[in-house]
């Protein structure tokens, strides 16, 4: 079973987010009270490029299993440290195709837009962390493991322990790309 392991938000633009009891998602906006919420881009680097671009990064999800792996490799990380709003358990986030719909808890609904591109902020948090969340597939292509991004399509409150229900888009499925 796939579940929400932790939820986070922060009203300032920094990498790590505060762990909270619950977050409120708003359709077309993101997480209430989070600096990265909004209908147009809210990540500072993207605002500088084009402040009118749609915000395809309203919500960041990260697998708790990745945090476990990083801890085993000697990194000091905890849920929320890598900027995610939702830490999950039991769901292979990187395997879902673009457009996958996730129901979080009773009401909230999100659509997966793509991959988070691991950025240099990770190394400022802890040396070597950016490289630790990047791999190479057998064919040599880059594998980004720093989580996925989504937009909110239905309002709802998300709490620790909430179930995550996955609905795949109609085929043909498009693999996740950085957004």
Tokens of 35: 């600096």
Which of 29-33, 39-43, 138-142 shows the highest mean pLDDT? Answer: 29-33
pLDDT at 115: 98
Q: How many angstroms separate the CA atoms of 84 and 59, rounded?
A: 8
Q: What is the mean pLDDT of residues 156-163?
A: 98
Q: How many angstroms separate the CA atoms of 171 and 163, rounded?
A: 25
Q: What average pLDDT is seen over the chain?
A: 96
pLDDT at 43: 83
pLDDT at 55: 97
Tokens 């997966």 label which residue? 112
């Amino acid at each position: 079973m796939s579940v929400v392991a932790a939820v986070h938000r922060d009203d300032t633009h920094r990498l790590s987010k505060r762990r909270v009891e619950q977050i409120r998602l708003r359709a077309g906006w993101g997480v209430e009270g989070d600096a990265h919420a909004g209908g147009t881009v809210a990540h500072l680097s993207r605002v500088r490029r084009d402040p009118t671009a749609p915000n395809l990064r309203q919500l960041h999800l990260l697998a708790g299993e990745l945090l476990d792996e990083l801890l085993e490799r000697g990194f000091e990380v905890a849920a929320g440290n890598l900027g995610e709003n939702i830490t999950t358990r039991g769901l292979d986030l990187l395997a879902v195709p673009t457009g996958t719909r996730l129901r979080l808890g009773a009401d909230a609904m999100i659509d997966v837009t793509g991959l988070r591109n691991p950025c240099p902020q990770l190394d400022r948090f802890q040396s070597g962390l950016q490289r630790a969340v990047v791999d190479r597939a057998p064919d040599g292509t880059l594998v980004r493991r720093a989580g996925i991004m989504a937009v909110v399509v239905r309002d709802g409150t998300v709490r620790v322990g909430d179930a995550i229900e996955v609905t795949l888009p109609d085929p043909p499925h498009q693999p996740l790309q950085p957004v």
